[in-house]
Amino acid sequence: MNAAMRRAARQERAYARSRRPINRWLQIAVVAGVLVLSALAAFITATDAVYWYLTLGASAAAVAAVVFMRRRDASPLGLVLILATAGMANLIALPTGTGSKLVLSLILSLAFTFMWLFNTFILNKHTMRLLASPLNAPVLAWCIVSVVAYVWSLIMRDPLLYVARSFTIVQVAALVVNILLPLQMLLIINTIGVLKYDEGVLWLKRMVYVVLAIAAFAIVGEILGLPFVNRFYANGIRGLFSMWAFVLAMALVLYDSSLNNFMRAVLLGIAGAWFYRDFVQHSGWLSGWLPMVVAGGVLAFLRSKRLFALTMVVVLIYIGLHWEELYLRIVVSNIEEGSMSRLDIWAMAMTHIKRHPLFGMGPAGYAAYYMTYNPLNARSTHNNLFDVVAQTGVIGFAVFIWLGVSVFAMAWKLTSSQKGEHTFEEGLAAAVTAGCVGGLAGMMLGDWVLPFAYNQTISGFDNAVFTWLLFGAAGALLALRTARDAGDGATA
């Protein structure tokens, strides 16, 4: 009996030690160490060679550091590392034997997601549960339907279909990415959403400011013409990243009353620089500025109807004064570049979807059908919505729409419940709400939310993970507020 009591006491002391918060300097050291290792690897690989052992070393160092600390905020630190490497370590990647590479952010996401699932459903299987969230059901349903679509595509594969030797690897990799990205929402909800309110909000602030720091470094590097920018940032700042940089910066300026004037000026500078980069310098690239403009309009509407009306008046005046120039830079340039051919690509996609309506052609599957039946016009749809229905059928498409509506409804509810608080939390909720609408515009123009294996390739995980983690940040904030309001998440 005494031995059992002593053993229980030792376990209790060990558990208490594991719950001690990480020293702030240790947190900084871990993040800085991974980024420095990433930078060194980037410079070493300046000849475009990819050294797989450096990638494995950086990944192992990051994961091992977090596991070694064994504290309650180890997993939130992992989320910060995923964001940092997605934006600042694009060069480091593992070869896959195909035209794609395993980027560092994807490797870390796999590692931390596995750790979370293992701890939740294996080590704590007697008490395993997900934190209550409106996103649980649609995310899990999407994971299930994605696997079913893959199996279905194997069973229902056309007998005449030409399948390349690497196609199986590509399909499995695409399946993993399509599942892993939405799972990042549950990962952040179940790692940050379980903390005390003030502590959880602090981690959300760290995540947001990591995104803004990446945005600042990248845009300054481009302005100054620094040669390392493309090598470090090129992949991570593609797609919807500029939208998030703009909308997060503007949301904090408009909502967070705790900011001083200097910080407001810095954030306005970040937002203005990214808007100038994408709308003025690269106006022909719709994917760059249209999601940003749409999200900005929604953000203005959420902040104030008067601000929205004023914004619309300014936009209309600008369009009226620069109509011919805008028409040439946007409409004519897109027609000349062949953007209208996407209509033909979508029509071709529909012919294959009609033959595989229930669960589609599986992850990355329609590429094989294009190569078999339309080899002279085998191009990706450049449209995430078409990608979803082509890969998972109408059933998967319905689940994906359910998932998207759930994210928007959650963010809208969170924004409404905080109206007038003028806090960081209100700004984050408004930014995610606006990002949902802007993200929809981005999905119509490219594979920026779920990267297609034969377009961005799975390396598109670098820029896509920002969207899913920020969606999840709103879910974590909702969990924190729910617990606080119920009396279970008192401030630290």
Residue pLDDT, tens place only, 366-413: 888 888 887 777 677 888 999 999 999 999 999 999 999 999 999 999
Spatial separation of the C-alpha atoms in residues 399 and 396, rounded to whole Å = 5
Do 422 and 468 lie in a common domain?
A: yes
Instruction: Choose the final residue of a domain: 82, 103, 129.
Output: 129
Do 96 and 147 lie in a common domain?
A: no
Do 139 and 65 lie in a common domain?
A: no
Do 163 and 231 lie in a common domain?
A: yes
User: For the chain, what is the domain count?
Assistant: 2
Scanning the structure block, which residue is given the tokens 């999601």? 291
Best CA proximity match to 150, nearest among 129, 171, 133: 171
Scanning the structure block, which residue is given the tokens 């490219």? 446
Best CA proximity match to 112, nearest among 87, 69, 79: 79
CA contacts within 13 A on the Cβ side of 256: 20
Q: Is residue 404 part of a domain?
A: yes
382-406 in b/e burial notation, b at 16+ Cβ within 10 A? Answer: bbbbbbbbbbbbebbbebbeebbeb
Q: Is residue 428 part of a domain?
A: yes
Q: How many CB atoms lie within 10 A of CB 375?
A: 9
Q: Is residue 492 part of a domain?
A: no
Instruction: Choose the final residue of a domain: 100, 129, 158.
Output: 129
Do 341 and 453 lie in a common domain?
A: yes
Scanning the structure block, which residue is given the tokens 């493309």? 230
Q: Is residue 109 part of a domain?
A: yes
Q: How many CB atoms lie within 10 A of CB 46?
A: 11
Q: Is residue 11 part of a domain?
A: yes
DSSP state of 121: I
DSSP per-residue string spanning 225-273: T-THHHHHHTTTTSTTHHHHHHHHHHHHHHH-TT--HHHHHHHHHHHHH
Instruction: Choose the final residue of a domain: 96, 129, 162.
Output: 129
Spatial separation of the C-alpha atoms in residues 377 and 360, rounded to whole Å = 20
Return the pLDDT at 284.
81
Sign, CA dihedral 72-125-113-194, equals negative
Return the pLDDT at 148.
95
Length of the chain measured in residues: 492
Spatial separation of the C-alpha atoms in residues 307 and 186, rounded to whole Å = 34
Q: Is residue 396 part of a domain?
A: yes
Name the 3-class secondary structure at 293: helix
Return the pLDDT at 287.
84
* pTM exceeding 0.75: yes
Amino acid in the structure at residue 119: N
Q: Give the angle 468-110-26 at the CA atoms, nearest 5°.
A: 90
Q: Are 396 and 389 in contact (CB under 8 A)?
A: yes
Spatial separation of the C-alpha atoms in residues 349 and 10, rounded to whole Å = 62
Rounded to 5 degrees, φ, ψ at 107 are -65, -45
Do 140 and 122 lie in a common domain?
A: no
Tell which phi-psi region holds residue 371, choosing left (phi > 0), alpha (psi between -120 and 50) or beta: alpha
Spatial separation of the C-alpha atoms in residues 411 and 430, rounded to whole Å = 7
Do 165 and 304 lie in a common domain?
A: yes
Do 368 and 456 lie in a common domain?
A: yes
Domain of 52? Answer: 1-129
Do 368 and 251 lie in a common domain?
A: yes
Do 322 and 465 lie in a common domain?
A: yes
Rounded to 5 degrees, φ, ψ at 102 are -90, 105
Name the 3-class secondary structure at 95: strand
Return the pLDDT at 2.
55
Which mean pLDDT values do the consecutive 10-residue runs of the chain (492 residues) have? 49 43 53 52 44 54 53 70 84 65 86 82 66 94 95 89 82 92 95 92 95 92 75 76 96 95 95 92 85 95 92 88 80 73 80 89 86 77 90 95 96 93 95 96 91 86 94 96 78 46
Q: Is residue 361 part of a domain?
A: yes
Do 377 and 479 lie in a common domain?
A: yes
Spatial separation of the C-alpha atoms in residues 30 and 414, rounded to whole Å = 32
Do 125 and 160 lie in a common domain?
A: no
Token pair, residue 118, equals 């293992």
Q: How many CB atoms lie within 10 A of CB 142?
A: 22
Q: Are 100 and 173 in contact (CB under 8 A)?
A: yes
Q: Is residue 491 part of a domain?
A: no
Scanning the structure block, which residue is given the tokens 């306005």? 268
Q: How many CB atoms lie within 10 A of CB 76?
A: 25
